[in-house]
Structure 1
Amino acid sequence: MDFKEHYADTSSSVANAVRLNDLKLLRKLIRDGQCVDVMDNRGWRPLHQASILKEKNNHQLVDELLKHEDTDPNWRSHEGETALLLTCRHNTDHNAYKTVEILLKHKADPNISDNEDETPLLAATRAGNASCVQLLVKHKSVDVNRADCGGWTALHESATRGHFLMTQTLLQCGAKLDAKDECGMTPIFTAAQHGRVDCLKILVEEAMRQHMECLLDEGANDGASPVMIAAQQGFTDCIDFLIKSGANPNSYANDGVNAIHLAAECGHHKTLELLLQKMDVKEMESQLRPDLPELKLRNPLHLAITSDWLKCVKVMLRSGFAVDSVDYIFEQKFSLSMPPPKYITPLSLAVSLN
């Protein structure tokens, strides 16, 4: 059932006063004995509603409700959301900081997650709310490594979004560098994947300090390394930093491709130039096995031709890729009366593709 849509006829008079941002009316209703714990169709109580208001005085509404003895700061909606989580998710200004401060003062639990296991800390990180992140991590009981249902932590999020100060703060508070999401990705991997070189630098520096250099090559579940994923996206600055820090540019994923394959297939000629300076072309070509197609060890020169990346082809030829190298024909594109060939050279491939 979807509990995101609000039905107005399920709101209490107290909730309506909150929705109107009317502090005077709210106080009157409470004095008159109106209930503060009535839920609407989403399972939201007036406290939930007050927590998401963007008006400058919404923290006063929250404070007023929390003074009532019947108010529980940790009430959860039908989707498991607390007022603290909603504030961190929906508000990004200084007003949110005040609201979070008040909720924590009234013993709101920063570790209560929603039905998808998202915590207030992760929500604040996703919202880019640095001040709330700072406030939450100072709380003595907060778990900075609590992950959502996909294994995603606040450090994953800050690294992915390029929030340098948040990343720095989380690391100082004990965020784990080796945390993996459901796809096996670490924060270093996600920073490289999204080209967040500043966050990548601080993550790698911390990994070196903790003697966790292995994380520079730690791949996802498909075996792709941080260098490989950065090559696929064309983030040359990330690749350069990773290699200079000791990452291996020659590693292969589970499907037999490496950084050269990915850069060539995606048309990142500048990335190719950098990688080819760090790799032995002849050694790489010697590992290609066109006679064993089940290994799927494709020739990257052929991939660049197939994808019509002329600049990549030029870079690879200048770097020493053999013009007479062959690749297994995985997809037959010939309509000849005689049986088609099993292997194809770069020139033949280019001709066959017009």
Structure 2
Amino acid sequence: MVEGERPRKLLRLVQEGWLETLRDELRPDEVLDPEERSGRYGRSGDTLLHHAARYGHRDILTYLVEVLGMDVEVFNRDYKRPLHEAASMGHEECVSYLLERGASVDCLKKADWTPLMMACTRRNLEVIKALVEHGANPLLKNKDGWNCFHIASREGHPEVLQYLLAVSPSSWDTESMIKRTPLHTAAMHGCFDVVELLLERCQYKPDSRDKCGVTPFMDAIQNGHVNIARLLLEKHQACPTAVDALGAQPLHRAAVTAQDEAIQFLVTELGVDVNARVTALQLTALHYAAKEGHVHTIQTLLALGADVQAKDGKNRSALHAACAGQQAAAARILLRAGLKDAPDDTGTLARQLVKKPDLIQVFQEMNIST
């Protein structure tokens, strides 16, 4: 790694785009010594070429490559090339220049990301077009099994997706290493326009499941995107009571993430049973909300008719779940909702789980010994 005042000055000039000053600093009769020519900056080991590409200084790129002879394929410690930098920051002129100078269009950085994948994290369609027109392969996948279509779906760029479908019609038909589709990802991240496009243009199966059994509808619900959940119901025949690998419904997953609006939608509009149980564990949504300490969600569930006395497969109520999670506020609500007068075996087991002082205080307030 380069050290000293001169290398730091060179780096600052490159980052700020001061080409004339950089030329003065590196006089025509002066040659960079080997340390400066291959100088590495910061923990990632970036070169001056990386910084010029990252900041979008085409003129400095030209100077570094054509006058100082720096290699367009130089890579840092993460194997990131200048082309990755320019593509990820949306600098079309720098991308085009590097490609014209022979930069490998599908070079891989750490985790097998290509410049095209990096470009798809932004809306700059011109950069994406430049890469594709120079031969970038839209079907390549990174180590997680994501191709560029999957990445654009996460970012919410319908115009990028439309272009990718035009140049690579099969790019939609992809799954990650854990069997998640672009539809899963768009639903999870609340990209309504993208979900709408995917349902119109692509042939995803209704309620397709990832390795954990999660459907796009579940992703939408557990992240609070009710508008997307409605869209999946109307245009993709999603099932609001489908279960994941553990037997949990969207209702249970919404309780874990405290998505009260989604819970209201499921129960009041779709008629989902508020006391539905997870197949494997016999837990209710109230158990999950209590364990996580989601006070408002507990109140929402109780208002919708959740059974405060419901037991799981090990004869534990939501109060047990709250106590096991040391959730004092949740325990207080449940005790006030009717568990104070629960049978002795219920109260005894719950009291055995109490450890935190504020939770002990809750039981004392209710005149329950711990």
Partners in 1 of 2:215 and 2:348 — Cα distance? 31
Counterpart of 1:51 in structure 2 is 53
Query: Take 1:17 and 1:264, find their aligned partners in 2: how far apart are those partners?
Result: 53
- Percent of aligned pairs with the same amino acid: 20
Mapped contact 1:39–1:45 kept (Cα < 8 A):
yes
What displacement does 1:147 show? Answer: 2.9
Q: Give the structure 2 partner of residue 172 of structure 1.
A: 166
Flag structure 2 segments of 5+ consecutive residues without an equivalent: 324-338, 351-362
- The residue number in structure 2 matching 1:134 is 129
Report the aligned-residue RMSD: 4.0
Q: In structure 1, what is the Cα distance between the partners aligned to 2:185 and 2:212?
A: 14
TM-score (norm 2): 0.70
Q: How does 1:212-291 map to 2 (within 5 A)?
A: 212-214=203-205, 216-244=206-234, 245-276=236-267, 277-278=269-270, 281=273, 285=276
One-letter identity of the residue aligned with 1:187: P
Letter in 1 for 2:188: Q
- Evaluate the alpha carbon distance shift between residue 9 and residue 173 of structure 1 in structure 2; reply closer, same or farther with a 3 A threshold: farther
What is residue 145 of structure 1 aligned with on the other side?
Answer: 139
Question: Within the alignment, does 1:81 sit opposite 2:77 as a pair?
Answer: no
TM-score (norm 1): 0.73
Structure 1 residues 49 and 194, CA gap change in structure 2 (3 angstroms): closer
Give the counterpart of 1:313 among 292, 295, 302. 302
2:180 & 2:348 partners in 1: Cα distance?
A: 37
Q: Secondary structure at the match of 1:218?
A: coil
Bigger relative CO (Cα 8 Å, ≥ 6 apart):
1
Q: CA deviation at 1:249?
A: 2.2
Contact 2:281/2:312 (<8 A) preserved? no
Quickly say closer, same or farther: Cα 1:314–1:143, change in 2 above 3 A. same
The Cα of 1:193 is off from its aligned counterpart by: 0.8
Query: Larger deviation: 218-227 or 26-35?
Result: 26-35
Count of aligned residue pairs for this structure pair? 320
Structure 1: 5+ residue stretches without partners: 290-294, 345-351
Once the 2 structures are TM-superposed, how far is the Cα of residue 83 of structure 1 from its aligned partner? 1.2
Instruction: Provide the residue aligned with 2:66 in structure 1.
Output: 67
Deviation at 1:88, TM superposition (A): 2.2
> Does the CA-based 8 Å contact 1:52-1:86 persist in structure 2?
yes
When structure 1 is superposed on structure 2, of 242-251 and 39-48 the one drifting more is: 39-48
Deviation of the 1:258 alpha carbon: 0.8
Within 1, Cα distance between the matches of 2:270 and 2:343? 45
**Residues 36/110 of structure 1: CA separation in 2 closer, same or farther (3 Å cut):** farther
Cα distance in structure 1, aligned partners of 2:11 and 2:286:
65
Task: Say whether 1:123 aligns with 2:118.
Answer: yes
**Residues 327 and 343, structure 1, Cα contact 8 Å, conserved in 2:** no
Against the structure 1 CA distance between its residues 266 and 53, is the aligned structure 2 distance closer, same or farther, given a 3 Å change threshold?
A: closer
Provide, for residues 51-80 of structure 1, a one-character-per-residue CA deviation record: whole Å limited to 9, x for no partner.
2235xxx21122233435944322223321
Q: Secondary structure at the match of 2:73?
A: coil
Cα contact 1:305–1:313 (8 A) shared by 2 = no
Secondary structure at the aligned position of 1:201 is classed as helix
Query: Match of 1:23?
Result: 19
